[in-house]
Homo-oligomer: A and B are copies of this chain.
Amino acid sequence: MKVVSGGVTAAKGFTAGGVHCGIRKSRTKRDLGLIYSEVPCSAAAVYTTNLVKGAPLLVTKNHLADGVAQACIINSGNANTCNANGVEIAEQTSSLLAKELGIKTEDVVVASTGVIGQPMTIDPFKRGVLPLVKDLSKDGSPRAAEAIMTTDTVKKEVAVSFELDGKEVTVGGIAKGSGMIHPNMATMLVFITTDCAISPAMLQKALSSDVKDTFNMVSVDGDTSTNDMVVVLANGLAGNEKIEEEGENFKTFMKALNSVTVALCKALAADGEGATKFLECSVTGAKTLCDAKKAAKAVICSSLVKAAMFGSDANWGRVLCAIGYSGADVDVNKVDVAFCSKAGSISVCEKGASVDFSEEIAKKILSEKEITIAVTLHDGEASSVAWGSDLTYDYVRINGDYRT
């Protein structure tokens, strides 16, 4: 498997684009993105578990009922959520695009991200659809990635290629997400494309299985969004024998999908609102996978751990505290904790108690941009990893004044 360039257009037959249509006031930031496949695709998706759901999710769910899609249109600047006319706008957007592209309305995936409960009209979409379709190109992944950004500071694109039945297969994707990130069964906005030939059912199986260990293990601020969505489109143009069941080829595809989703997860966490540091919590030696996940996620979600990491403070008691309230079945008298970064690794807690360590070395390790909090439970064989970011002054600044 190798990393390749091209993001969401790396796979055969996919183009993308992004324009400014006026949903955002600033003309310097694209606010409408498009991903298009020259042929209809197997499509799979997972959605937020929040009871408050963005109108585009409802429309997209209907459109994907048959497991087929050909294009994704995504706006930023307004979540189209808690609006009385939200579903109407999402449906109109789909049909405007379908008409322009000459495809079926039901083959359009529609998504929105931005402020919840802001009034919205169809006008910017009417203005934007034609220029957007004209903007489609093989090098359009960065423009689509930019168009879906909100408080994100960097574009998130990744792609890998691998071999299946002697054919080169590519999987690539883009993502947005920076705040209100605490996915639960689904996630922020992520669009993944592949030229792999795979049935809708197997594609859904691959995605649903993957998100449990990837997007669902990311948290920036504990707030599960109303508009979370991960969509995968597979157009089959790689020419491999169509994956219709489990087996070696499905495993290989899963592995490629996982390398794309993990890279996007890490990119999302590292670009958490206000973040100065990327945090990874690895838990090993847990009784069960569920215990490992609960412990890893509690550590990553703890405001106190996050603030300590911002301050490069080796305050490991907060890690123990988070494990203790995580709900994981752990023997707290067996827990080891170490902090690791490219500057080194230091053990700070053994068997649930303090060990003598150099504060100076710990500070140096924690001053790096990428920190791993390594927890060993000595209670079994299960392990898990969760990703997040530190809690900073800028998180407060960004969210104390988001709408204005």
CA of A393 to CA of B324 in the docked complex: distance in angstroms? 27
A82 in contact with B400 (CB, 8 Å): no
Answer yes or no: A96 CB below 8 A from chain B CBs: no
CA of A115 to CA of B317 in the docked complex: distance in angstroms? 7
Please name all residues of chain B whose beta carbon is closer than 8 Å to the beta carbon of A115 when the two chains form the complex. Answer: 315, 317
B184 in contact with A325 (CB, 8 Å): yes
Please name all residues of chain B whose beta carbon is closer than 8 Å to the beta carbon of A81 when the two chains form the complex. Answer: 317
Answer yes or no: A4 CB below 8 A from chain B CBs: no
**Chain A stretch 390-404: residues in CB contact (< 8 A) with chain B:** 391-393, 395-404
Pick the interface stretch among A25-33, A256-264, A298-306, A338-346: A298-306
B308 in contact with A52 (CB, 8 Å): no
A396 in contact with B392 (CB, 8 Å): yes
Q: How often does this chain occur in the complex, in copies?
A: 2
Contact (A318, B116) CB under 8 Å given A307-B396, A397-B393: yes
A321 in contact with B221 (CB, 8 Å): no
Please name all residues of chain B whose beta carbon is closer than 8 Å to the beta carbon of A318 when the two chains form the complex. Answer: 116, 180, 223
B317 in contact with A224 (CB, 8 Å): no
Answer yes or no: A211 CB below 8 A from chain B CBs: no
B403 in contact with A325 (CB, 8 Å): no
Please name all residues of chain B whose beta carbon is closer than 8 Å to the beta carbon of A84 when the two chains form the complex. Answer: 353
B313 in contact with A403 (CB, 8 Å): yes
A316 in contact with B400 (CB, 8 Å): no
**Chain A stretch 189-234: residues in CB contact (< 8 A) with chain B:** 221-226
B400 in contact with A313 (CB, 8 Å): yes
Closest to A52 in B: B324
Answer yes or no: A83 CB below 8 A from chain B CBs: yes
User: How far apart are A216's CB and chain B's nearest CB, in angstroms?
Assistant: 13
Q: What is A's interface to B at a CB cutoff of 8 Å?
A: 49-53, 79, 81-84, 115-119, 179-180, 182, 184, 221-226, 301-304, 307-308, 310-311, 313, 315-318, 320-325, 330, 332, 349, 352-354, 391-393, 395-404
A-B contact pairs, 6 of them (CB 8 A): A51-B324, A52-B352, A115-B317, A222-B302, A223-B302, A391-B396
